[in-house]
Amino acid sequence: MDLALQLLFTGIGIGSVYALVALGFVLIFRATNVVNFAQGEFSMLAAFMMVVFTLKLGLPYWLAFIMALVGMAAVGAVFNLAVYYPLRHRTYLPVIISTIGASIFLANGMLALHGPEPEVLEGWFETPGFLVGPVYVDSQYLLIIGVTAILVVLQYWFFEHTLLGKKLQATSQDKEMAALLGIPVAAMIMVTFVYSAVIGGIAGILVAPVLFVSIGMGAAIALKAFAATIIGGFGDVTGAIIGGLALGVIETFGAAYISVPYKDGFAFLVLIAFLIFRPRGIFGERVAEKA
């Protein structure tokens, strides 16, 4: 029982990272109808920015964090202008290929700039963790869960209770109609890309002390997050969060009780099961169903 509680905590911790990256997938998918295959690279870039700002430049952690977020906002804006915007009137296929190209470019660009050695990023806290009853609470995991919870609440408030949030939703539901009402569609899509890059970046910075900071970390996280979005139901925000958390818990329990080397396998086993038995996911496509 104690072990199960311990695993649940760790699982929710790693699942929160998947959930954040999955949110990025969903938001861009809803705004552009295209999966952004470079979403994982946002996490990798932000983690490397943190390494450069804290280890190489010796900046305080909080300042490095803010600078990395500003950097990611810029990455999101440039990404939109270079990868999506020129192809916005095309079908989904050229855009998908464009995001795959961007993913390869970003990973290999970082490889050329930095080299293949992984880096170690310190956690935010001095104390690595503490005991709560039988459960060892790793402070980095606690931070991940806390930040994810705050972001999810803020995002919910923003989308449900502000006019800008409603305009973003309207844009994702029907771009042409949004334009007819005078909603600046291009600006709304820009906001979406910037925000998605920032939350992808936050996920990368949060998970970096748990993993190594490496060129391949983006692809590894993105693959899990992508599986999480499918399990949750593509295009659904709640689904992305639930899917991410579920995947984190499943793979942690699978690793502990069944097999550590097959840890990554469990996530994809669940994904395959969903694709066969419930391809639209837990929350998928509720709106389309009624038509």
Partner 1 sequence: MSLLELKSIVVRYGEIEAVEGISLIVDEGEVVTLLGSNGAGKSTTLRAISGLEKPISGDILFEGQSIVGLKPEEIVRRGIAQVPEGRRIFPGLSVRENIMLGASNRKGLKTSAIRREADEMFDLFPDIRRFADALGWTLSGGQQQMVAVARGLMAKPRILLLDEPSLGLAPVIVQAVFAIIAEIRRRGTTVLLVEQNARMGLSVADRGYVLETGKLVLSGTPTQLWSNEEIRAAYLGGRTAAAHA
Binding residues (CB under 8 A) for partner 1: these are: 162-163, 166-167, 169-170, 173-174, 176-185, 287, 290-291
CB of 173 to partner 1, least distance (A): 5
User: Would you say 167 or 224 has its CB closer to partner 1?
Assistant: 167
- Provide, rounded to whole angstroms, the least separation between the CB of residue 174 and partner 1: 6
Query: Of 56 and 290, which has the nearer Cβ to partner 1?
Result: 290
Q: How far is the CB of 185 from partner 1 (least distance, A)?
A: 7
Nearer residue to partner 1 within complex by CB, 112 or 163: 163
Is-contact 225 40, C-beta < 8 A?
yes
- Residue 228 to residue 250: CA distance in whole angstroms: 11
Nearest to partner 1 of 241, 247 (CB atom)? 241
Cα 58 from Cα 48, distance rounded (Å):
14
Closest CA to 247 of 223, 213, 277: 223
Nearer to partner 1, 180 or 276 (CB): 180
CB of 151 to partner 1, least distance (A): 21
Least distance to partner 1, CB of residue 131, Å? 45
* CA nearest neighbour of 202 among 69, 79, 62, 59: 69
**Token pair for residue 287?**
């709106």
Residue 171 or 214 with smaller CB distance to partner 1: 171
The residue (of 13 and 235) whose beta carbon lies closer to partner 1 is: 235
Q: In the complex with partner 1, which residue's Cβ is closer, 29 or 48? A: 29
Query: Least separation, in Å, of the C-beta of 93 and partner 1?
Result: 20
Instruction: Write down the least CB distance from residue 267 to partner 1, Å.
Output: 29
Nearest approach in angstroms of CB 21 to partner 1 is 23
**Residue-by-residue DSSP string for the chain:** -HHHHHHHHHHHHHHHHHHHHHHHHHHHHHHHSS--TTHHHHHHHHHHHHIIIIIIS---HHHHHHHHHHHHHHHHHHHIIIIIGGGTTS-HHHHHHHHHHHHHHHHHHHHHHH-S--B----S-SS-EEEETTEEEEHHHHHHHHHHHHHHHHHHHHHHH-HHHHHHHHHHH-HHHHHHTT--HHHHHHHHHHHHHHHHHHHHHHHTTTS-B-TTHHHHHHHHHHHHHHHH-TT-HHHHHHHHHHHHHHHHHHHHHT-STTHHHHHHHHHHHHHHH-TTTTTTTHHHHT-
